[in-house]
Structure 1
Amino acid sequence: MHLFTRTWAALHAAVADLSAEDFSRPSGCRGWLVRDLVCHLIVNAQDVLITLVTPAGTAPTHDAITYWTVTDEPPTGEDPGDAVTVRLAAAYGDPARLRAHLDDVGSAAGRAAELADPGLAVSTQDMVLTVADFLMVYSLEWTLHHLDLIAHVPGAEPPPAEGLARTREMLEKITGTAFPASFSDTDVLLVATGRRSPTEAEAAELGDLAARLPFVLG
């Protein structure tokens, strides 16, 4: 619960620090500008609110690790769902409207998470998770999207160190792969998920693992 609150607060603050010009910069999500990603975060926050008030009435079927599927095909931004996000983000026009909507919905999602029973089973995407596991799923999501948000924004604050470390730990469990200890948590997350290519030195250190990348979470 603490990690969800911490990672969400940091991401929310990073959006608040963006200039109007920053919304037109590319993000770390292929095919999306920063404004598109912020629009996606609004949808994420709505999902948090919806899921936290959707008790399952059955035992959990998944946890924060088994929730994820792994493919090797990074999104291109051309998926119909992604295209809707782009059109919706453009419809806001003034970035201030996007920021204000995220403030409203995001603040509500944060409060709902703080008030939720960690042990309650909730339903999302045909899965049942405890609230604690569901919020841990979003801690990973927030951390990766924080990296996406600031990918081309000079001087932006990075995600919290504890969020980076926990997301790396989760990624290694999800993929059944341990990355070299010499890699920073940020470098593991960027390279492992295909957000950037490994350098020659990193590829040499990864060895056979380099040929298996990227691990795309869905």
Structure 2
Amino acid sequence: MAELGVSVIIPCWHDEACLARLLGQLAACAPPLQVVVVDAAQSEACRALCRQHGALWLASRPCRGAQLRQGAAQASHEALWFLHADAELCGDPLGALRAALGAGAVGGCFAFRFAGAPPWQGRLLAWLVNRRTRFGTPYGDQGLFARRGAYLAAGQHAPWPLFEEVPLVGGLRRLGAFRRLGPGVLVDPRRWLRDGWWRRSLRNRLLALGFALGVPVERLARGYRSRV
């Protein structure tokens, strides 16, 4: 039986250093695999890096939701896997993804886990995030994936610079089984280390509250970008 083809879509903006690591990890994954990098900085360095690793490079405007939609439109495989450029892979996430979709899931995500050896604050935060996402929305740093047909039927990512995955995850859950898999995609902790574990997390929760209360995403994104 042929392996399920997977297209990996990676939005990028001045992320060449961490992107090189991720592309190297993806190169070791089992085919059929297509990698699409959507570069909002339109960087020649990023373009050269993609050429080196056999990834498709696309120029885009700086809006993560629009970048993800643009990448999905160029996907050549049945399964779509959305990764942040600073993600780190562990174990066999591609095998777990293929197994979940092969068992009938319309989409899913991976458990939240920080890369490296985080202190107790990081481990506690990861536990809290995983409790929340049992019913709440997992965000893009958890490696969202979906079958192409389900992705389109769910409305794709919203063309927003922030919280672009919220309507997509809701749509996928209404369509069928949305599986949360074990660890497979590690989250870069650098922003938490820079801002403080609790301060960064509180700020993220306040942004989510603002979104839930109807604050325009463009306004929220301006505040987010000021501390990225």
Structure 2-normalised TM-score? 0.28
Structure with higher strand content: 2
Higher relative contact order (CA 8 A, sep 6+): 1
Structure with higher helix content: 1
